[in-house]
Amino acid sequence: MATSTTPLAERIRPTSLAGLVGQKHLTQENSILQKAIESGRVPSMILWGPPGVGKTTIAHIIAETVAAPFYELSAISSGVKDIREVLDLAKKQTGAILFIDEIHRFNKSQQDALLGAVEKGTITLIGATTENPSFEVNAALLSRCQVYNLKSLDKNDLEDLIKLSIKKDEWLSSLPIELKETEALIRISGGDGRKILNLLELTVQHLLNQGVGRQNKKEGKTKDASLQITDQAVLEVAHQKIALYDKKGEQHYDIISAFIKSMRGSDPNAAVYWLARMIEGGEDLKFIARRLVIFASEDIGNANPNALLLANTTFDAVTKIGYPESRIILSQCVTYLASCPKSNASYLAIGQAQRLVQQTGDLPVPLHLRNAPTKLMQSMGYGKEYQYAHDFDGHFAGQEYFPDELAGTKLYDPGPTPRENDLRKYLKENWKDKYKY
């Protein structure tokens, strides 16, 4: 008996939220999404999360539950012409839903083509993305959509999914399957439900091809009566049938966390290892480069200002140069950032400054710091007594720049690195009567 040509993930796709494995924060009783679907008033939305966690399934469940006309496009293969054709059809119907997979791959003009229809309610848009929509979906479209964050499936979710598929699928349920071990299935899938189901199906087919579970006609009994799913059987198939990693596949969020923490801990060896894990997994290289720019400022800052320059140059270079050459550029930047002295003084300073603003509100700008482009403003004292720093020795005037209520407040405290010690020395010499450096 051969498996169906339809993938297992498609064969057992649930038709109601109750049958969805995982995402309980979105689908449980009285959740916002569940209430919206029950009421039939579903908002346009962006479903954001890693691969294989139920984004497409939720879109299909919504359409089926509210009995709405359903159109589906893939941003990989569709263009503005395809969008307009769907919108023309949707105008003749009521409550049509347009599902766009990988919506982050649409460029600005393609996303703009959706704006009017979403705003007028011609369609309810459901976009699926593995990328942070704040960066990849334009602001105008994003403001018209609710964003729901889907999480990777955890170990319990994945085990439930395996057991459910063996019980529910017509083909698998007809076989004498015995689930002995799940560690390999779970580890390789990395929280991706689609991936774990594909691997399970391949493993079952592999065991059948080896003759396991088939009846011995001469003896009139079954040889190896059950198809035993073991870690060894799964690993045999994984090496033969699928790549070990998939884009955004295995432990995406854990790996980027380990990558950042390795650089912060000044270990270039571990950092470049995690970089390789992401590259081999097909990670978006611009995503990696973007994190390097953030890291250079947040974790190195003025301990080595060149770090931000190199990280920003790396982002530009990666944008211009494709794989595989860009891996070398990323490696250079990662090993450099990991080897730099670290300081989070700038990061702490802006956090402290924002908290101060939240506590003290909109304090007035001192008159001497205000511009005076008109005679009226001059007559009101705008700009009066402002001291131009370059007119003083050392280009330092020592004037008050805070609102009166905050005079003398120190927010920036340089770290103990050599470069920051130079900054500290300069500030201490100039501000010795005001700030304690």
What's the pLDDT tens digit per position in 122-152? 889 999 998 888 888 888 888 888 888 888 8
Whole-model pTM: value is 0.53
C-alpha distances out from residue 331 to 282, 288, 310, 340, Å:
16, 11, 12, 14
pLDDT at 245: 43
Average pLDDT over every residue of 246-273: 81
Give the pLDDT band (50/70/90) at residue 251.
Answer: low
Instruction: Kindly state the average pLDDT of the residues 10-20.
Output: 87
Domain covering 155-241, topology: Helicase, Ruva Protein; domain 3 (1.10.8)
86 in Cβ contact with 58 (< 8 Å): no
**Assigned token pair, 304:** 């080595």
69-78, 136-145, 204-213, 339-348 — most confident range: 339-348
CA distance 437 to 427: 7
CATH code for the domain defined by 363-430: 1.10.3710
What gap in Å lies between CA 139 and CA 329, rounded to an integer?
Answer: 31
Classified by CATH at the fold level, domain 252-339 comes out as Zinc Finger, Delta Prime; domain 3 (1.20.272)
Mean pLDDT over 154-168 rounds to 91
pLDDT at position 243: 37
Mean of the per-residue pLDDT values for the chain? 86
The pLDDT of 245-258, averaged and rounded, is: 65
On the question of pLDDT at 362 being above 60, the answer is yes
User: What are the CA-CA distances from residue 182 to residues 29, 169, 177, 246 (Å)?
Assistant: 30, 18, 13, 19
Structure token digits, residue 361: 């509100």
Contacts of 311 (CB under 8 A, 6+ apart): 289, 292, 293, 295, 296, 333, 337
pLDDT band at 246 (very low <50, low <70, confident <90, very high): very low
Query: Is residue 265 pLDDT above 80, yes or no?
Result: yes
What is the CATH number assigned to the segment(s) 23-149? Answer: 3.40.50.300
pLDDT band at 395 (very low <50, low <70, confident <90, very high): very high
Confidence at 214, pLDDT banded by 50, 70, 90:
low
Averaged pLDDT, 287-291? 94
| Band of pLDDT at residue 247, cut at 50, 70 and 90 | very low
The domain locations on the chain are: 23-149, 155-241, 252-339, 363-430
> Looking at 39-48, 267-276, 415-424, which range is the least confident one?
39-48
CB 67 within 8 A of CB 22: no
The whole-number average pLDDT for the span 173-180 is 90
pLDDT for residue 121: 84
What's the token pair of residue 382? 């705008």
431 SS3 class? coil
